[in-house]
Chain A
Amino acid sequence: DTGVSQDPRHKITKRGQNVTFRCDPISEHNRLYWYRQTLGQGPEFLTYFQNEAQLEKSRLLSDRFSAERPKGSFSTLEIQRTEQGDSAMYLCASSRRGYQEAFFGQGTRLTVV
């Protein structure tokens, strides 16, 4: 059990650029979640996959955001035309079928300049 892995750990990008983050969940975890956390706040839910199916998306996930989980394994979160307000820690979590505990990866810290 190697834990949830996220890549990159840090990303600095210029406003207007596109960025893509990757998450590898714990093996055998069929559920995968994306959250966003800004300073002084708790994580906010963005979207959730069960296997390859994206089952829920938050209204926070504007049309500039897209997430995929091909083949139900790793997931990617893409942000198009980044804005300064997108600067945050992007957290991925996974959980096992039949269990409610979710385990987080190390996060990707995005800074938009």
Chain B
Amino acid sequence: QKEVEQNSGPLSVPEGAIASLNCTYSDRGSQSFFWYRQYSGKSPELIMSIYSNGDKEDGRFTAQLNKASQYVSLLIRDSQPSDSATYLCAVLNFGNEKLTFGTGTRLTIIP
């Protein structure tokens, strides 16, 4: 079982709709969770971080964390073509300084 799992996609969403990206993790000791956006050929860009159960909103992005279910998600409202990218879920475990990444979900917003 991979430590961090994401559906690789591709996930296609119409422009203006809500894109929902999901991530599960295996280590119950995980304490911090991050979403990175990566355009093709570019480096990952941090877009959201979440540390406690519940929702965290930042503009059109909402991160949701459920530690009991070991599940973290990212919602993108009013999806724009510029949101088309690969979204990487990353997890930081307690006492460990390294991020563990999933393989990423490729999101395509259809105009």
Contacts and interface: CB of A to CB of B under 8 A. Distances in A.
Contacts of A42: 4, 88, 90, 101-104
B97 A48 contact: yes
A44 B45 CA distance: 16
Interface residues of B, number: 23
B14 to A, nearest CB: 25
Interface residues of A, number: 24
B98 A101 contact: no
Give the secondary structure class of A's interface.
strand
Contacts of B81: none
B42 A45 contact: no
B34 interface: yes
Interface stretch (A13-21, A73-81, A102-110): A102-110
A33 B100 CA distance: 12
Nearest to A100: B32
Centre residue among B49, B90, B101 by max chain A CB count within 10 A: B101
Interface of A: 31, 33, 35, 40-45, 48, 50, 55-56, 58, 89, 91, 100-107
Interface of B: 4, 8, 32, 34, 36, 42-46, 49, 51, 88, 90, 92, 97-104
Given A43-B99, A102-B99, A104-B43, 14 more contacts: A33-B98, A40-B103, A42-B102, A43-B101, A45-B98, A56-B97, A58-B98, A89-B43, A100-B32, A100-B51, A102-B46, A104-B36, A106-B42, A107-B43
